[in-house]
Structure 1
Amino acid sequence: MNYLAHAYFSFGDPAILTGNMISDYVKGKKQFDYPIAIQKGIKLHRAIDQFTDDHATTKAIKQIFSPLVRLYAGAFADIVYDHFLALDPNEKTADEWMHFTETTYTQLGTQQEWFPPYFARVFPYMQEQNWLYNYRFDWGMENSFKGLQRRAAYLTNAEQAFDLFLANYTQIRQLSADFIPDVKIFATGQFQQLVEQ
């Protein structure tokens, strides 16, 4: 899952949100340099990622992308989950998502002292361009695919990957609809365990 889902599955806790959002940029034992509450967010992010990677629907979505992007198929699957989460009628309306994203940026803004360098650089753009909200739009997805290409060392065909996403949209939407309730249950349980520790 990508930025939107990790924000959503932080359940409004600013410190856990921070850890959840920066986790990909915190390597190895560096996680222990952070306050315990942020460490819990890092752990939550990693647990969600492992659950996502192991889930049958993720493997099915990766099969769609793998012939084109090979090892990056999982990264594209993460992005498409955010798209369908943003459009899931069982979660929030468009207005509610807008409020959620604005609240998320405000909460993250109070935690910037803990941002790793890369996240510190991208956060202003994320906020100004409202990346979290714009996952709901095809053009937002296309931008996200291009952003992945900019970060990836050997990826050069994000445009073709976006065409593949559109061509398989109905199938990927159904797979995502099967997955989102499962990951929500998992993330809720993990969050509860972490806050009780």
Structure 2
Amino acid sequence: MNFLAHAYLSYHQPSITIGNMIADFVKGKHWQDYDAGIQKGIRLHRLIDAFTDTHPATLEAKRIFQPGCGKYSAVFIDIAYDHFLANDATRFPDDSLATFAQEVYTSLQQHHQILPPGFQEIFRYMKEQNWLYGYRLNDGMYKTFSGIVRRSRYLDVSADVPFAAFEENYDALSASYQTFFPDLVTFVQNVPGDLTSL
């Protein structure tokens, strides 16, 4: 999953949120450098990713992006899921997404000194450009796709390619989200309190 889903699935617990957001930037045994709450967030992030990558709806949805994006199709699925989550009125009624995004940014800012350097750089843009809210908008999605393409060493296409796949298969991707995300929520809610070892 992408940033919004990881933040949402932290259920307003600041330490879990921090760990869940920075996990991809914590390499090797550096997870041990953090307190117990953040370690739980890192572990939860990895469990969420494993569940997402093996879910039948995700495996089916990846086919939408594979012709143009190959192994990067999983990245674009994650971003698409964040779009549908951002627009899910059962998860973010009214304008609660805007409030939630600011809550996450505040938690991250308060822990800025312990964030991995790579995430600190990402966070600067995330906050300035309000990525978490931007997933709701098609313009925000295009910008996110563009950022992925720009940073991807082995993806030799323009952002128009995955974005066209996203627009042309919007209903199918929405259906995948509707099938997948409730299963992910149930999975997270049933993860043991101590999670599993890294």
Same fold (TM over 0.5): yes
Matches of 1:133 and 1:173, distance apart in 2 = 18
Structure 1 residue 107, shift from structure 2 partner: 1.2
1:23 is aligned to 23
What TM-score comes out, normalization by structure 2 length?
A: 0.94
Matches of 1:124 and 1:14, distance apart in 2 = 18
Q: Which runs of 5+ in 2 are unaligned?
A: none
Q: Which deviates the most, 148-157 or 42-51?
A: 148-157
Which one-letter code corresponds to 2:15 in the other structure? A
Structure 1 residue 94, shift from structure 2 partner: 4.3
As a proportion of its length, which structure holds more helix?
1
Q: Which runs of 5+ in 1 are unaligned?
A: none
1:77-114 deviations in whole A, cap 9, x for unaligned?
11000000011122112411111111111111111122
Matches of 2:38 and 2:114, distance apart in 1 = 9
1:170 is aligned to 171
Q: Cα 1:94–1:154, aligned 2, differ >3 Å: closer, same or farther?
A: farther
Find the residue that maps to 2:40 and give its secondary structure. helix
Matches of 2:145 and 2:189, distance apart in 1 = 28
1:15-73 deviations in whole A, cap 9, x for unaligned?
11111000001112111121121111000000000000010011011111111111101
2:40 is aligned to 40
Structure 1 residue 123, shift from structure 2 partner: 1.0
2:138 is aligned to 138
RMSD: 1.5
Instruction: Count matched residues.
Output: 195
1:70 is aligned to 70
Moved over 3 A (4+): none
- Matches of residues 1-197 of structure 1 in structure 2 within 5 Å? 1-157=1-157, 158-190=159-191, 193-194=193-194
Which one-letter code corresponds to 1:160 in the other structure? V
Does the 8 A contact of 1:112 with 1:120 survive in 2? yes
Q: Which deviates the most, 152-161 or 73-82?
A: 152-161
Find the residue that maps to 2:153 and give its secondary structure. coil
Which one-letter code corresponds to 2:113 in the other structure? E
Which one-letter code corresponds to 1:25 in the other structure? F
Which one-letter code corresponds to 2:114 in the other structure? W
Structure 1 residue 124, shift from structure 2 partner: 1.9
